[in-house]
A and B are shown apart, each in its own frame.
Chain A
Amino acid sequence: MAVQSVSGNTDQVLVEEHSCVRTIILNRPRQLNALSFQMVSQLLELFITYEEDSNVKLVILKGEGRAFCAGGDVAAVARDINEGNWKLGAKFFWNEFTLNYIMATYRKAQVSILNGIVFGGGAGASIHGRFRVATENSVFAMPETALGLFPDVGASYFLSRLPGFFGEYVGLTGARLDGVEMLACGLATHFVSAMRLPLLEEALFKVNTSDPAVVSAIISEFSEQSSLKATSSYHRQDIIERCFSRRTVEEILSALEEEAATGADKWLSETIQSLKKASPTSLKISLRSIREGRLQGVGQCLIREYRICCHVLRRDVSKDFFEGCRAILLDKDKNPKWEPSRLEFISDDMVNQYFSKVEDEEWEDLKLPARFNLPASAMAKL
């Protein structure tokens, strides 16, 4: 086993080599492996190199410590912008989304071992890949609406493809899912108990093909059936279908409240609460983004999300992202003052603006690398 640190001055990303297999380790455990600008760039470089290196057949991605990855390092992005440079923030998203795209169209199998927190950007770095292994320690969430952001990193692609309207539920409420739920809804492809992970990795190290069927068979040997908790929101598919399929955020909320009026319970009140606590602007752009994403390819999704991100960073319509960072990450008072403060104060035109081109001469839409001659296995993993 050879362990290398990729970057000269820090060890935020580590790599292990085992014949045809490369294991990439997110190594920033104190920050729950939150993706820094540097990490994103390193990952991009590694993934591109491995795709072209015919000696590499399989890439394993995992996190050091108790998290897989808690997301993009948003606090750093917000700090940059507060210092006056939104374009620096945009650069971060540009690279991160490019990485997401490379993973979504990767010619070789990527196995992500999700033995811990998988939030936001962490989901973007794993869900687009071919295999996602959940464990009893997995905690998945797209918590962006509580932060004044929206589910990005291609989430409008993968959330919108979950069964029924589960994606709207997960994306709008920021609900947390455990490993079994991830498997049930398709965010994970396998469930392996954490105890058996070392054995699984050992078995994967012997892989000398990029054939997804072979890799899948190996992981399946270690997989197990595990049943959903009685309280799992996955048992609530009926209500989710009835409410989260509605046309607008307002209608979703009132459908939930109607359900609560006839039979209140903890799940319903938590769901309603999380929607009420989230940024109203975020809810509206998130719903619209997921709905558009349902009809688009992953590339188009990322291009649209990049546009939205730039508008968020420029504070063109609302400053909620900065208020969210202040309240949740910096001051930690957990009491953001959203502006506009209510759903009804947000017009369609305001929402439209997030989806339009950015009025800045130097600005351009996200340009994704052209991916030629992709094998079938590199397409549509969800």
Chain B
Amino acid sequence: MASSSSSMDRVSWRAQVLTRHLQQPSSSHSSVAPVLESSVCLQYAPPELSEKFDFDVREMRQLMDGHNIEDRDWLFGLMIQSKLFCPRNSGGKVFVSPDYNQSMEQQREMTMKRIAYLLDRGVFEGWLTEKGAEAELRKFAFFEVIGIFDHSLAVKLGVHFFLWGGAIQFFGTKRHHDKWLKDTESYVIKGCFAMTELGHGSNVRGIETITTYDTSTGEFVINTPCESAQKYWIGGAANHATYTIVFSQLHINGKSEGVHAFITQIRDANGNICPNIRIADCGHKIGLNGVDNGRIWFDNVRIPRENLLNSVADVSQDGQYLSAIKDPDQRFAAFLSPLTSGRVTIALSSIYSTKISLAIAIRYSLTRRAFSVSPNGPEILLLDYPSHQRRLLPLLAKTYAMSFAANYLKAVYVKRTPAANKTIHILSSAYKATFTWHDMKTLQECREACGGQGLKTENRIGQLKSENDVKSTFEGDNNVLMQQVSKALLSEYIAAKKKKKPFKGLGLEHMNDSCPVIPAQLSSSVLRSSKFQVDIFCLRERDLLNRLASQVAERQAQGESREYAFLMSYQLAEDLARAFSERAILQNFLESEASLSVGSLKNVLGLLRSMYAMVSLEEDASFLRYGYMSTENDAAVRKEVMKLCSELRSHALSLVSSFGIPDAFLSPIAFNWIESNSWSSVHN
């Protein structure tokens, strides 16, 4: 026994020596066997070999993804294992991505095939028939993962489940739920959502489609009275959808009762277009060609009375209009609630898009070199250039900040109560606009940061730009949404002043406190303190809200209507909506940070939060314009951004590795791009 354990020790000691030997970087190796290539040719070195990992990437991913990690990985795996997701080998790794070189028609068919595959494997089980926060979070997780693969696939599913399915859930009553939800979940029917018209997009109240009621047959009659009333951009309408929700003005006994929603069949089960329906294609688009957007005309289409989605209002057999909500404004607001879920999912998916592009661009910048500082000196890694850090790392910090804010929005949404509707509406509007703008900005910067490689479709970032551009327009134009945010804040302000009550909700409670005082001298430690950051963000919001209110009041005093006065104050409104969003994001970030115990994870999040705050201070001219900061302070902030860049540099790889996006969903330049571009790979 003794001898065997001593031989064991000897062997294990030997193994240790060998392992240590192996772990040494190659300096000693190369002296034994000089590697000729290294002096004349570039070699790819995985960044993992040189970068440090100061915190547990797994833990950070848990924090960022927030929920259903195992389910997400399952779905990623489902996609990787199927030929339908176009797995391609490049540089010794497998990547999945749609073939964007296919024709529009082919891409649309692929989208449907992918849906069928995921459906068969149970991905959509419970998406409409299961209730509760847990089911809803799982659905969000799956939807996020699907969006990481392809925006067309996500949009096609989003239309079917969230818009068509959501409309039935929210506007319909039991008879609709029983009849449609299960069949929707199993794709017995394919739904679409006909709201937008050629003449009316964000202004839904202005749509021109008209529905009347025929008492003699007990049917509604839907009609497209003019060309501008044709339904437009209807996802799923051009090829696949069999049913649609039609949004239309309802005319009863010659009186318009406002916008209502109806279920109408547009194709039979074999895909033939129904009588009195005309459908045309919206054609090729700059992106999202895997979605069949179409146009629909209704030629006095008759549908049964039961097809009115009647949770808010109904029409009796004998043609009487019945509604519990008397105020048409409120009735209209109730109709728009499904769009909230759309805005939530768009906000969430934008953040994942920024994660894909940052992971690719930062990984590339850790392996690609350019120029030397001294003649014949070694070339410098892109991310070792302070200017390159300044381009990418603030965007990384913003993505982290918005990721926490997105988790907060999700949490509020799944736990929603009728009382929270206003908050959800405002927050989802603000975050949808802010995140999608951040996404487009990030994609462009990352594309440029990858140089020519960013132009290749296989490297994803460039393609993502055109695939995601629509996010700033659909489910509410970003500018319109941001105006709604400041309009809502103004209403809160006016209400609080009128009722002489403190502000409550939307994070506006700080308005009740005394005005924060910003120190004259901003040292590094002050700049990095959460107190200062919150104070100055609150100061900006508070002052802009005061200014907007007084400007509108002044104009009203001069005889302008409140609407017109608001419209003319668009500059302040824009600044205010931004101030609100950035303050809310900062607070969400701080709340997530507070939930962590002291350690390396919390430290790096502190750096990211300070970067988020500093870069927001640096970028928004409001701080100087309205004097919240002196020009000296502004200089201190800029200096701090530089310092934070250099401090975050060493965490860059671990920060993008924490995004939880599998390698297969990144792209060849994120890995061995020399090998993936080698001659030997040309024929494989």
B348 on the interface (CB 8 Å rule)? no
A355 to B69, CA, bound (A): 13
B70 adjacent to A291 (CB under 8 Å): yes
A370 adjacent to B56 (CB under 8 Å): no
B664 adjacent to A372 (CB under 8 Å): no
Q: What 8 additional pairs, Cβ within 8 angstroms, besides A164-B81, A380-B92?
A: A41-B11, A45-B15, A164-B82, A251-B122, A355-B58, A357-B56, A376-B675, A376-B680
A245 adjacent to B81 (CB under 8 Å): yes
A233 on the interface (CB 8 Å rule)? no
A376 adjacent to B43 (CB under 8 Å): no
- Picked from A41, A102, A242, A294, the residue with its CB within 8 Å of the CB of B77 is A294
B22 adjacent to A95 (CB under 8 Å): no
Quick one: closest B residue to A53, CB to CB? B33
Known A52-B33, A160-B77; contact A38-B18, beta-carbon cutoff 8 A: no
Which residues in B have their C-beta under 8 angstroms from that of A91?
12
A262 on the interface (CB 8 Å rule)? no
Which residues in B have their C-beta under 8 angstroms from that of A37?
8, 11-12
Known A91-B12, A95-B15, A247-B74; contact A372-B92, beta-carbon cutoff 8 A: no
Interface string of B67-91 (1 = CB under 8 A from A): 0001101101110111000000101
A120 to B93, CA, bound (A): 25
Q: How far is the CB of A372 from chain B (nearest CB, A)?
A: 5
A367 adjacent to B23 (CB under 8 Å): yes
Quick one: closest B residue to A290, CB to CB? B77
Residues in chain B within 8 A of chain A (CB atoms): 7-8, 11-12, 14-15, 18-19, 21-23, 25-26, 29, 32-33, 35, 38, 43, 45, 49, 56, 58, 70-71, 73-74, 76-78, 80-82, 89, 91-93, 120-122, 662-664, 672, 675, 678, 680
B19 adjacent to A98 (CB under 8 Å): yes
B23 adjacent to A379 (CB under 8 Å): no
The 10 closest A-B pairs by CB, nearest first: A369-B22, A295-B662, A379-B92, A380-B92, A41-B11, A294-B77, A372-B26, A41-B15, A376-B675, A95-B15
Which residues in B have their C-beta under 8 angstroms from that of A9?
7
A246 to B74, CA, bound (A): 9
Quick one: closest B residue to A367, CB to CB? B23
Known A164-B81, A288-B70, A379-B92; contact A295-B122, beta-carbon cutoff 8 A: no
- Picked from A348, A355, A357, A370, the residue with its CB within 8 Å of the CB of B49 is A370
Which A residues between 201 and 249 are near B, CB-CB below 8 angstroms?
242, 245-247
A61 to B551, CA, bound (A): 83
Known A52-B33, A245-B78, A245-B81; contact A369-B70, beta-carbon cutoff 8 A: no
Quick one: closest A residue to B78, CB to CB? A245
Q: Considering residues A42, A48, A294, which has the most beta carbons from chain B within 10 angstroms of its beta carbon? A: A294
Which A residues between 292 and 308 are near B, CB-CB below 8 angstroms?
292, 294-297
A246 adjacent to B121 (CB under 8 Å): yes
Quick one: closest A residue to B62, CB to CB? A352
Known A294-B80, A370-B23; contact A44-B18, beta-carbon cutoff 8 A: yes
A347 on the interface (CB 8 Å rule)? no
Which residues in A have their C-beta under 8 angstroms from that of B678?
376
Residue tally, chain A, CB below 8 Å to B: 44
A292 adjacent to B33 (CB under 8 Å): no
Quick one: closest A residue to B661, CB to CB? A295
Q: How far is the CB of A50 from chain B (nearest CB, A)?
A: 13
Which residues in A have their C-beta under 8 angstroms from that of B81?
163-165, 245, 294
B80 adjacent to A370 (CB under 8 Å): no
Q: How far is the CB of A346 from chain B (nearest CB, A)?
A: 13
A360 to B604, CA, bound (A): 24
Which residues in A have their C-beta under 8 angstroms from that of B32?
52
B11 adjacent to A245 (CB under 8 Å): no
A246 adjacent to B73 (CB under 8 Å): no
Q: Considering residues B29, B76, B81, B680, which has the most beta carbons from chain A within 10 angstroms of its beta carbon? A: B81
Can you pick out 21 interface pairs between chain A and chain B where the beta carbons lie within 8 Å of each other? A37-B8, A41-B12, A45-B15, A48-B22, A52-B33, A91-B12, A163-B81, A164-B81, A165-B81, A242-B120, A291-B70, A291-B77, A294-B76, A295-B662, A295-B663, A355-B58, A373-B38, A376-B672, A379-B92, A379-B675, A380-B93
Q: Considering residues A9, A37, A48, A295, which has the most beta carbons from chain B within 10 angstroms of its beta carbon? A: A295
Which residues in B have their C-beta under 8 angstroms from that of A370?
22-23, 25, 49
Quick one: closest A residue to B58, CB to CB? A355
A357 to B672, CA, bound (A): 30
Interface string of A143-169 (1 = CB under 8 A from B): 000000000000000001001110000
Which A residues between 305 and 344 are near B, CB-CB below 8 angstroms?
none
A247 adjacent to B22 (CB under 8 Å): no
A88 to B8, CA, bound (A): 10
Interface string of A26-41 (1 = CB under 8 A from B): 0000000000011011
Which residues in B have their C-beta under 8 angstroms from that of A48?
18, 21-22
Which residues in A have their C-beta under 8 angstroms from that of B89?
380
- Picked from B19, B38, B120, the residue with its CB within 8 Å of the CB of A369 is B19
- Picked from B7, B43, B70, B73, the residue with its CB within 8 Å of the CB of A373 is B43
A367 to B19, CA, bound (A): 9
A88 to B9, CA, bound (A): 10
B33 adjacent to A295 (CB under 8 Å): no
- Picked from A242, A245, A295, A379, the residue with its CB within 8 Å of the CB of B73 is A295
A163 to B83, CA, bound (A): 10
Which residues in A have their C-beta under 8 angstroms from that of B92?
376, 379-380
Which residues in A have their C-beta under 8 angstroms from that of B82?
164
Which residues in A have their C-beta under 8 angstroms from that of B76?
294-295
B45 adjacent to A372 (CB under 8 Å): yes
- Picked from B19, B33, B74, the residue with its CB within 8 Å of the CB of A54 is B33
Which A residues between 92 and 108 are near B, CB-CB below 8 angstroms?
95, 98, 102
Which residues in A have their C-beta under 8 angstroms from that of B664?
295
Q: How far is the CB of B38 from chain A (nearest CB, A)?
A: 7
Which residues in A have their C-beta under 8 angstroms from that of B91?
376
A297 to B672, CA, bound (A): 13
Quick one: closest B residue to A48, CB to CB? B18
Q: How far is the CB of B368 from chain A (nearest CB, A)?
A: 17
A102 to B675, CA, bound (A): 20
A373 adjacent to B56 (CB under 8 Å): no
Q: How far is the CB of A293 from chain B (nearest CB, A)?
A: 9
